[in-house]
Structure 1
Amino acid sequence: MTKHLQSRGGLLTLPDGPYSNSNRGSRGEVLRCDRVLLVAGGIGITGVLAWAGYQHWNVKLVWSVVGSARCLVDAVDLSRVVVAAKEVRVGRRFDVDELIADEEDAGWARVGVVVSGPGGLCDSVRAAVATAGRRGRTVLKLKVEAYS
């Protein structure tokens, strides 16, 4: 199998951990990090809101939804969610690579990343965490809650 795959060097693959300097994090591993980044796409907000409830001292919540799902943003009362930082985008996606790089640049030693959303978003976060892990500036713990 490996020999066959070597001939296809351009084939993008996203193995699901462990990555260099990071791995899939259990809840405890994620919550022991200096920073927790919650990334939600669409209805994936339901998966990350529970993480916000653990009252970690340093949580950043980012949530993007398609324009036609604005009613979802209106229905979720984020004013009751107590986190260090939050950002919601309607009709625009976050640059996942930039999100992860910003956390590295902030100088956190350990960042827990939790993503909940459609497969494409989860794959993008996996790839960004893998890339950051190879840079080795920050230890990243990844927890993926994908849906289709």
Structure 2
Amino acid sequence: MFKAILKRLRKDQRGLTLIELLVVIVILGIIAAIAVPMLMGNQDNAHRNTNAQNEQILQDAINRFYIDKSTYPTNATTLNDQLTKATGSPATGPYVKEIPTIKAFTGCTPATGTGTINGWDYASGVISAPAGCK
């Protein structure tokens, strides 16, 4: 097939002109300008959905801890040990394999400071993602 196309070309016409090449580059640039923002938006949505799902999983783990222990994990500092390790007699847990780190994206800043763990806010048995992160 390729040979048939080459045979149809005149001997002195062996490639693309500069104008044809520039048109192709412009078309590719337009496609990229449309596609890149759409893909970046999808990535932010994926991070937002991941944070919402992780928040639900962590809250379920905290609730299971409460059912077993009749108390909520004491604070964000000890939350990791209390949810990821088997404790007590008889041993209960672990409730989650690990505390996931919050996924940061445009408009989302993970929480820091007292009462936070891996970017999550924790207080009195309730874990939540910072505003704009879910």
Taking structure 2 as the reference length, what is the TM-score of the superposition? 0.24
Identify the structure with bigger relative contact order (alpha carbons < 8 Å, sequence gap 6+): 1
Q: Between Structure 1 and Structure 2, which shows a larger proportion of helix residues?
A: 2
Q: Between Structure 1 and Structure 2, which shows a larger proportion of strand residues?
A: 1
Taking structure 1 as the reference length, what is the TM-score of the superposition? 0.22
